[in-house]
């Protein structure tokens, strides 16, 4: 009894099983979330620590180093990098993909807790951590502005209300505030006034602390009533601080207003943000690694109406950019491509069969295979993303193959006069093993992918499982529903046909006649055909070596990120002017819909000479490609003096946690900081000179103007002044020192002590700063310290606890990452000393790993297919015959990619893997028939394979055309996000066309030679057995 017999005999059971597959698939589809890509995020945690006023070197040694030592003991940590700037340390911890981010967060918290005693005591708050990759792009930008209200009020609503509510949403990692204008009271002391009253800054700080108190005061318990004690210890605004008494002189109070200006101000007055050309507060929402972008954005959008209802009428809230919009657009385009592909494949079936019933049956199998896959995707917690939908789109071209082969075989029996039911039984029994072989071997192609690690394995796993499930479901349906429907609804072919049928039949017969003639010619030149495989193999290896290689194709998501950098030591006011010049150029670009801009050390900007712009472009149909717009902007912005601008199209997958000005990173590490400072600029210049490189820069900034204060300890001791007094005075005067806290109903605000701005403008004004010595005598700073000008680092960076400098770069259009990686490595080997360690980071590092794994992946896929086929056929020989067409497919794929200027990247490698499965299906159909012909008809290997090739020519052409139509819409590269998918489509289309032209001839030749060898070997074994038997007699 054949596998299909029960389904033919029991049509009700078959119908209900198919209905169950369809209904569960529809239910799964409705429940599947929408995303751009599978979860490929590395678990990443960002640790931040603040010590206002502390220089970068001190932050690196006193804050970063103790934390890094403790973090290095955490299991599963892949990389650790830190950036130390003025008053801020940020440490990025990236764990391997197998590490649970929540468990890692607990380990990070424990490490922070155990390090607290080693950290400076003056830190206003302990280090904090967030489950976020700082290098990731935000998924949503919200801008708040007002032409009437002060920005501190706008910031109050944005920070305490909107940001807090959004942070509570599941999946939100952090809400960054660009251009924060948080309210604060600033006490700006006048050093001359302090000197005249003989008051030190420490007295001012103590007076403020003692005047602003928020302590528990208890309650009163009477016989019948209880009273809570409430004092007016809190001072809530600048006016309340002015009359505070600092001290008494000559029996008269010296109030704060007598020695300082007290103003209502902001916490950080050296940051600014704009929405286009209007001052604004911009909120950038970042998601946690592993969460769904669309779901998170949808949850935030549900809150926006309530935000607008509760905000003041003079305040405006708008969405600057929504990442989910481009994701939805891309996914919708893939859905359309899927529907278009199904339609094209059904058209191919109809053109070959020219029978409505015969067309509907495999079409139903196709639709059921696709729909049924959704239920399995839901059970596996997958999403409707570009890769899973692309897997289904590509599967359309060959999940229908099984049904086509089945129905073609049944129709062939009906053409010989058998009734539909008899033909269904006989045809399904004949072809059952062939379908199992085709299905299992095709699904087996993707087995190696399931065991891949790293980013490439994560990217391809969901794709591979989805397409394998669709293949297996199609195999089951082709063995069950297809023969059952054929037995009941197919009708014997009619002798009379119309013009359309006869015209196509004439074309097919003509193609078959040409194939028969050429096949006979090839079989007469078997040796030459066999030898032609040698140059094909050599050519495949050569093309694989020379083809440009990349990681992921650039996608147009309607956004541009611009990072600006001015001279080290630039003033905040000058930085704002330069930034606005860049903004004017961006504003004049017709492709720009909107943009935000920010400057100053805060939020994502790590230093005072840095800024950034986030540019949202108009819809694709209204503008040029994003890479062309970047090229245009780069030329215009280059004319602006005093500032460098680094433009990039943010990648869909951000690999690595380092924030650099350009996309690709090459890091130098050495315990010798001087060596790093010497050779990093040399390497930067060498890389900048390479052709095709753009925006070459480093994070080495060591010429920031500094004022060094050399304390004369002996003289200070004689005058009764301690080093701590001097540093406390400097901190109070220039370090944005928080001396008290205002506890309001919804927030906390700082009271900041400093000297008046006019005394912060020049190093010579340090002589006006006084400290108290013996007998409360005021000692000028310049009498106990020497003040000199110098330069020092603006930031200090570590990678894995060692000092590091990163050279980053972008590439011009048409230049491959693989070539760039090779050239940078060559230059580094040429100019760097032997003891300095180097490594690529981020995308470049992931590219190297994927390139190393690509060859092994392809080889493993071939080995797995060979093993599976060997098991199915119980033969060492037949799998070799079946795989003989692979070199031609490889040549076709690689040549096509090169002709269209495409790189060999992750997507195109997937296409090559798919070709391994698709191409061998044609050989299976021929070889199965030839084996049967040898067994049952006694034909020779040559006659058997010739007959098989001719008889199976039409189903081979049908399945090839179906696979071609299934891939063609992707290869055309139409719609949103098609830039990434196109290499895959081109690889499959090119490989199919080229291999189809050759495997129809190569496979028969291989079969003849290998079958003759097998028979000769068997005759030798038989003769040996006969001789052994005779000798024993």
Residue reference for tokens 């990389």 = 79
Longest dimension (CA), the chain: 138
Contact 397, 345 (CB under 8 A): yes
Least confident stretch, 55-69, 261-275, 485-499 = 485-499
pLDDT greater than 80 at residue 41: no
The rounded distance, in Å, linking the Cα atoms of 305 and 133 is 29
Residue with the larger pLDDT of the pair 43 and 603:
43
Mean of all residue pLDDT scores within the chain: 86
Mean pLDDT of 194-211: 90
Q: What is the pLDDT of residue 605?
A: 74
The rounded distance, in Å, linking the Cα atoms of 223 and 715 is 65
pLDDT greater than 80 at residue 681: yes
Mean pLDDT of 305-312: 91
The rounded distance, in Å, linking the Cα atoms of 948 and 956 is 11
Q: What is the pLDDT of residue 1033?
A: 38
Query: Which pair of tokens denotes residue 672?
Result: 């010798």
In 3-state terms, what secondary structure has residue 861?
Answer: helix
The per-residue pLDDT for range 393-451, each reduced to its tens digit, is: 888 877 777 787 788 788 878 877 788 888 888 888 888 887 887 788 788 888 877 77
pLDDT greater than 90 at residue 824: yes
Q: Are strands 748-755 and 183-189 parallel, antiparallel or unpaired?
A: parallel
Q: What is the pLDDT of residue 1031?
A: 42
Start-to-end C-alpha separation, the chain:
44
- Contacts of residue 406, Cβ cutoff 8 Å, sequence gap at least 6: 427, 428, 431, 435, 478, 479, 482, 483, 486
Query: Which pair of tokens denotes residue 361?
Result: 């049956």
How many other β-carbons are positioned within 10 Å of the β-carbon of residue 593? 14
pLDDT greater than 80 at residue 866: yes
Residue with the larger pLDDT of the pair 493 and 901:
901
DSSP state, 384? B
Q: What is the pLDDT of residue 142?
A: 93
Mean pLDDT of 596-622: 85
The rounded distance, in Å, linking the Cα atoms of 740 and 208 is 7
The rounded distance, in Å, linking the Cα atoms of 880 and 1007 is 9
Residue reference for tokens 């390479």 = 690
The per-residue pLDDT for range 777-794, each reduced to its tens digit, is: 888 888 899 888 888 888
Alpha helices (H) in 833-885, listed in sequence order:
842-873, 878-882
Residue 65: alpha-carbon gap to chain centroid:
30
The rounded distance, in Å, linking the Cα atoms of 633 and 364 is 51
- What residue ranges define each of the domains in the chain, with the CATH number in brackets? 183-218+232-266+704-792 (3.30.2090.10), 354-495 (1.20.1640.10), 497-555+875-1033 (1.20.1640.10), 559-703+796-847 (3.30.70.1430)
Q: What is the pLDDT of residue 500?
A: 75
Confidence of residue 993 (pLDDT cuts 50, 70, 90): confident
Confidence of residue 850 (pLDDT cuts 50, 70, 90): confident
pLDDT greater than 70 at residue 497: no
Q: What is the pLDDT of residue 1032?
A: 39
The rounded distance, in Å, linking the Cα atoms of 759 and 729 is 14
Contact 31, 378 (CB under 8 A): yes
Mean pLDDT of 11-30: 92
Least confident stretch, 172-176, 322-326, 552-556, 784-788 = 552-556
Phi, psi of 261 (to 5 degrees): -90, 135
In 3-state terms, what secondary structure has residue 254?
Answer: strand
Q: DSSP for 391-416, please give it.
A: HHHHHHHHHHHHHHHHHHHHHHHHHT
Contact 346, 338 (CB under 8 A): no
The rounded distance, in Å, linking the Cα atoms of 867 and 858 is 14
CA distances from 465 to 377, 396, 862 (A): 9, 15, 18
Least confident stretch, 433-447, 529-543, 578-592 = 433-447
The rounded distance, in Å, linking the Cα atoms of 461 and 385 is 13
* Percentage above 90 pLDDT, the chain: 28
Q: What is the pLDDT of residue 405?
A: 79
Residue reference for tokens 């009533």 = 225
For residue 975, give the nearest of 339, 26, 212 by alpha carbon: 339
């Amino acid at each position: 009894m054949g596998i299909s017999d029960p389904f033919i005999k029991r049509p009700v059971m078959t119908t209900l099983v198919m209905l169950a597959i369809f209904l569960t698939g529809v239910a799964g589809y409705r429940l599947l979330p929408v995303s751009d890509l599978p979860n490929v995020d590395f678990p990443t945690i960002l640790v931040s620590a603040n010590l206002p006023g502390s220089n970068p070197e001190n932050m690196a040694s006193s804050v970063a180093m103790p934390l890094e030592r403790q973090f290095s003991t955490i299991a599963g940590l892949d990389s650790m990098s830190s950036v130390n700037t003025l008053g801020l340390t940020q440490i990025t911890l990236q764990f391997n993909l197998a590490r649970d981010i929540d468990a890692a967060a607990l380990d990070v918290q424990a490490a922070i807790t155990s390090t607290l005693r080693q950290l400076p005591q003056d830190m206003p708050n302990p280090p904090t951590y967030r489950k976020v990759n700082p290098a990731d792009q935000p998924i949503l930008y919200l801008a708040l502005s007002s032409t009437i209200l002060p920005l501190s009020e706008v910031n109050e609503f944005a920070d305490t209300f909107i940001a807090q509510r959004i942070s509570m949403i599941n999946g939100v990692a952090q809400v960054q505030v660009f251009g924060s204008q948080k309210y604060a009271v600033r006490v700006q002391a006048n050093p001359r006034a302090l000197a005249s009253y003989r008051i030190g800054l420490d007295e001012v700080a103590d007076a403020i602390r003692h005047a602003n108190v928020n302590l528990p005061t208890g309650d009163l318990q009477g016989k019948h009533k209880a009273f809570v004690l409430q004092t007016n210890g809190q001072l809530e605004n600048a006016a309340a601080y002015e009359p505070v008494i600092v001290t008494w002189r000559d029996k008269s109070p010296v109030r704060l207003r007598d020695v300082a200006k007290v103003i209502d101000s902001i916490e950080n007055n050296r940051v600014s943000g704009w929405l286009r050309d209007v001052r604004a507060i911009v909120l950038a929402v970042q998601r946690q690694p592993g969460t769904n972008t669309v779901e998170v954005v949808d949850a935030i959008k549900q809150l926006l109406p309530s935000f607008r209802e509760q905000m003041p009428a003079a305040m405006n809230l708008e969405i600057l950019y929504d990442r989910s919009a481009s994701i939805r657009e891309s996914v919708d385009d893939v859905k359309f491509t899927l529907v278009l592909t199904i339609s094209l494949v059904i058209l191919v079936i109809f053109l070959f069969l020219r029978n409505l019933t015969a067309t509907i049956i495999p079409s139903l199998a196709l639709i059921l295979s696709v729909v049924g896959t959704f239920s399995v995707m839901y059970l596996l917690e997958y999403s409707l993303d570009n890769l899973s939908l692309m897997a289904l789109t590509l599967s359309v071209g060959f999940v229908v193959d099984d049904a086509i082969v089945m129905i073609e075989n049944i129709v062939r029996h009906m053409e010989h006069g058998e009734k539909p039911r008899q033909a269904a039984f006989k045809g399904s029994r004949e072809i059952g093993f062939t379908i199992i072989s085709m299905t299992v071997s095709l699904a087996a192609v993707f087995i190696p992918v399931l065991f891949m690690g790293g980013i490439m394995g994560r990217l391809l796993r969901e794709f591979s499982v989805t397409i394998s499930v669709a293949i297996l479901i199609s195999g089951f349906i082709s063995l069950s529903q297809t023969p059952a429907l054929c037995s009941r609804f197919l009708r014997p072919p009619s002798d009379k046909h119309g013009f359309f049928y006869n015209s196509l039949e004439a074309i097919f017969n003509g193609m078959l006649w040409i194939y028969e003639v050429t096949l006979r010619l090839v079989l007469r030149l078997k040796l030459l055909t066999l030898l032609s495989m040698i140059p094909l193999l050599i050519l495949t290896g050569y093309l694989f070596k020379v083809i440009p290689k990349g990681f992921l194709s650039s996608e147009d998501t309607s956004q541009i990120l611009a990072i600006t950098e001015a001279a080290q030591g630039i003033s905040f006011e000058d930085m704002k002017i330069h930034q606005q010049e860049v903004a004017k150029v961006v504003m004049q670009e017709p492709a720009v819909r909107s943009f935000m801009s920010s400057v100053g050390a805060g939020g994502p900007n790590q230093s005072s000479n840095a800024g950034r712009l986030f540019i949202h472009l108009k819809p694709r149909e209204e503008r040029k490609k994003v890479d062309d717009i970047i090229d245009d902007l780069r030329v215009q912005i280059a004319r602006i003096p005093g500032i460098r601008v680094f433009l990039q199209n943010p990648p869909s997958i951000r690999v690595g946690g380092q924030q650099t000005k350009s996309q690709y990173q090459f890091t130098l590490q050495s315990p010798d900081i001087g060596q790093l400072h010497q050779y990093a600029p040399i390497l930067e210049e060498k890389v900048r000179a390479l052709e095709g490189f753009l925006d070459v820069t480093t994070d080495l900034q060591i010429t920031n103007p500094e004022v060094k204060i050399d304390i004369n300890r002996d003289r200070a001791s004689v005058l009764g002044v301690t080093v701590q007094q001097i540093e406390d005075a400097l901190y109070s005067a220039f370090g944005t020192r928080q001396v008290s806290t205002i506890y309001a109903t919804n927030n906390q605000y700082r009271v900041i002590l400093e000297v008046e701005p006019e005394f912060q403008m020049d190093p010579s004004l340090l002589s006006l700063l006084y400290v108290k010595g013996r007998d409360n005598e005021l000692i000028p700073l310049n009498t106990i310290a020497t003040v000199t000008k110098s330069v020092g680092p603006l930031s200090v960076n570590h990678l894995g606890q060692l000092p590091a400098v990163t050279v980053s770069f972008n590439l011009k259009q048409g230049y491959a990452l693989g070539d760039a990686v090779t050239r940078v490595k060559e230059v580094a080997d040429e100019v760097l000393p032997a003891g300095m360690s180097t490594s690529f980071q981020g995308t470049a590092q992931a590219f190297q790993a994927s390139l190393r794994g690509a060859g092994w992946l392809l080889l493993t896929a071939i080995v797995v297919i060979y093993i599976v086929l060997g098991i199915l056929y119980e033969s060492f020989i037949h799998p070799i015959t079946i795989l003989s067409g692979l070199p031609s497919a490889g040549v076709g794929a690689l040549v096509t990619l090169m002709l269209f200027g495409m790189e060999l990247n992750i997507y195109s490698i997937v296409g090559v893997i798919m070709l391994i499965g698709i191409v061998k299906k044609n050989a299976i159909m021929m070889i199965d028939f030839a084996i049967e012909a040898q067994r049952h008809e006694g034909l020779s290997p040559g006659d058997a394979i010739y007959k098989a090739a001719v008889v199976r020519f039409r189903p081979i052409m049908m399945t090839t055309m179906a696979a071609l139509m299934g891939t063609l819409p992707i290869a055309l590269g139409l719609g949103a996000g098609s830039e990434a998918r196109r290499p895959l489509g081109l690889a499959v289309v090119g490989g199919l066309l080229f291999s189809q032209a050759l495997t129809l001839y190569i496979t028969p030749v291989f079969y003849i030679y290998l079958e003759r060898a097998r028979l000769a070997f068997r005759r030798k074994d038989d003769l040996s057995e006969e001789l052994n038997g005779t000798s024993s007699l």
